[in-house]
Amino acid sequence: MTLPPADWPLRDLSRSVRTGEVDWHVQVAGRGPVILLLHGSGGSSHSFAGMLPQLAAHGTVVVPDLPGHGFTTGARYDSLTLPRLREALASLLQALELPRPALVAGHSAGAALALRWALDAPRPPKAVLGFAPSLVPPPAYYMQWMAPLVHPFATSAPVTSLLAWSVGPTGMLDWLLDSTGTRLPEPERRLYRTLFAQPGHVRGAMSFMAAADLPRLLPGCAALRCPTAFVLGRDDGWLREQPLRRVLERHLPQAAVETWPGGHLLHELESRRAAERLIALL
């Protein structure tokens, strides 16, 4: 594990845990039922920093940097599939000597991973919650013809190193953050700049996106044995509300779906409200 900078959010809660080949950076706080929080592609544990203290009054909150992201190191980039990540998370909880999660929540691609957890775990959580869930699959023609060509290129070390190098000089990351529909304050933008200046983080983010096999995940969601809820962003520039609602109505018709004002990173700006939504599920 690479240690976070001294000014990283909630650094005093950070732990280093090794499972197999992965050196985890994970933040843990509170006592009681386990609440597992999963960030999206390109994020890290910092994405939930505003929620963690409030949640810690209601349970044991576990917030890892997923393999290939942030300050978790050691994972192979070809292992960042949803099933393999679920297995890695199970090993992490075992190493922490914690029971199965009572609640699993994820943001963006982390919501897809939360669903994978609920489907594959021997005992499902009591509930799954997704913030701005990345659940709109690419068109079938892309998956059949373009993905085999694009993914190896986009996730290669030279390309991701170039992207990491370009973050500072070009202002590309600020443009990407603005395109989410969320106007993050400068302190939060600085955290993303720190992350995306690391070639390993960029490669992990691209690999996670490329490996999220939604056409395989979504049809299986009919077998879910726990309640699900989703919060969509009305101003989300990455995941439009109506296409996402159509996917949820088709594959998760029993889910509770609500829309809040805000963009793709709405849970970061509305951290108190997001925490209260999670506590209500407990």
Task: For the chain, give the mean pLDDT.
Answer: 89
- Is 223 within a domain? yes
Position 142 pLDDT exceeds 50 = no
Q: Total structural domains in the chain?
A: 1
- Is 79 within a domain? yes
Position 164 pLDDT exceeds 90 = no
User: Residue 168's pLDDT band (boundaries 50, 70, 90)?
Assistant: low
* CATH number of the domain to which 234 belongs: 3.40.50.1820
pLDDT at residue 163, as a whole number: 56
pLDDT at residue 154, as a whole number: 46
- Is 189 within a domain? no
- Is 165 within a domain? no
Q: pTM score, two decimals? A: 0.92
Q: What is the mean pLDDT of residues 96-107?
A: 97
User: Residue 15's pLDDT band (boundaries 50, 70, 90)?
Assistant: very high
Provide the domain limits for residue 234: 11-138+213-281
User: Residue 271's pLDDT band (boundaries 50, 70, 90)?
Assistant: very high
DSSP string of the chain, one letter each residue: -PPPPTTSTTGGGEEEEEETTEEEEEEEE-SSSEEEEE--TT--GGGGTTTHHHHTTTSEEEEEPPTTSTT-B---GGG-SHHHHHHHHHHHHHHTT----SEEEEETHHHHHHHHHHHHSSS--SEEEEES----PPPHHIIIIIHHHHHHHHTSHHHHHHHHHHHHHH-HHHHHHHHTT----HHHHHHHHHHHTSHHHHHHHHHHHHH--HHHHGGGGGG--S-EEEEEETT-SSS-HHHHHHHHHHH-TTSEEEEESS-TTHHHHTHHHHHHHHHHH-
